[in-house]
Structure 1
Amino acid sequence: MDGDAWRPDLTSPVGFVESDSEGDLEPSDLESDVESVGTSVISGPPADVLEADPAIIVAVGDSAISAVAATDLDVPVVPVGDVPGLSAVDPDHVSNALESAFSGDGRVRAHPVLVVETPGGGRERAVFDVTLVTAEPAQISEYGLSRRDESIAQFRADGVVAATPAGSHGYAEAIDGPLVSAAVEAIVVVPIAPFVTRTCRWVLPNDGVVLSVERDEDPVVLCVDDRTVERIPAGEQVSIAADGALSTVVVPESADGRD
């Protein structure tokens, strides 16, 4: 849901975080724009950028957006590039987008972030999706889905993905999952290449969802957004629940990301 009209605090710098795979936009491309309003650009890994206490972050590509969301700090983000599920800005229009934000023509939109608790006690954050999948391609394992101690399903498949509303427009959509509006507090759960001719896909409340590995014929790994986290042995599970949000800045230059 969009908030009220918003503009950044121009006494703080503009952060810049880039995916390794993206290279069309450089921090230097923004320097003249931000200097004209009396601030500066701070670039680098998310942790370094966030230490500078930026007022706004330009994040180029979904990997950069995911990395910012993983930090659990509430700094509004301008998504840049082809980012399914988010209203993003074309790299050629970032200067105009910042000008709109500086002028008060931006609105902040909140996107739920999932916290994943692993068997080893780890906590990971995902703004798009959480996946259990066999480490070797096209190998089948068996998975369980439950919510608040109530078993929902058990199925054989290559894997299973649980997606946020933003993530429902990405990989989950590619494997025939339903699209979910950002206004809905839900998780989409979709089997990957299920070993049946007919299977269910679920839209569940975004609290207390549990994915489990029921058998371990082939190693199964946990992926959080685009990060491979750890192996999940048979008999173990991961718990998923919404906790906090990633704030994105929507300006007139933002493309319709169907979020």
Structure 2
Amino acid sequence: MFTIATWNINSVRLRSGLVTRLMSEEAPDILCLQECKSPVDLIPAELFHALGYHWMVARGQKGYNGVAIISKLPITDAGDRDYAGLGHARHVAARLENGVTVHNFYVPAGADIPDRDLNPKFGQKLDFLTEMRDAFHADAPSRAILVGDLNIAPREDDVWNHKALLKVVSHTPIEVEHLAAAQDAGRWVDVTRRDIPDGRLYSWWSYRARDWDAADKGRRLDHIWASPDIASAAHGSRILRPVRGWEQPSDHVPVLARFDL
């Protein structure tokens, strides 16, 4: 059995203390971080190593993007893909000794205008998702876990107000359709919603809210999926809402699941 966590940390160096706190308090066996905003050689791996996280597979760039898989369990580098040809560090994969491959994604946010003609970043987001779909069609995932900040809240109860957000990037129908197409192509199982099927569920709250907790205008942007051959081994999903209240927090919180494999 192992526990996997995914967390958009919004700068791994600035928030290394929050990472080590999570490692100490929750001790996930595998921690996948997004938006590390650091070259790989400047990620403070020695802090994590001291807590038993002896393995890391990462892709980084200065000041932007960046993904890392940090593990107590032995992992090997399983490569990466430059989805949509953006030249960004937005995907990395690692393989466990039992043959399970973990994919860590940071899907582009898409900026503020949900129109690819007026906003090229929105088009890049849709193209990224389309290439994910095509990749899963071409090579059906098996013994695989996909985690990350997918920057889309797909269900009506994954946002604080469905109608109010239909024209807001992260919940527009075209984004939801593109994400569903990628999920369907790989027959991925949304582990979090399989475990917690009912009720509003969020993993992100904006920095703009004066009191994020009272306003509670959240969205579920962070996800854990499993390929159908191992989905039944997943259970115990949690979203660590209190982490949003830690000092100098990320605007995202960790999402966790356990796998009996």
Q: Which of the five TM-score ranges fits, normalised by the shorter chain?
A: under 0.3
More strand by share: 1
TM-score, normalisation: structure 1: 0.27
TM-score by length of 2: 0.27
The structure that has the greater radius of gyration is 1
> Which is richer in helix?
2
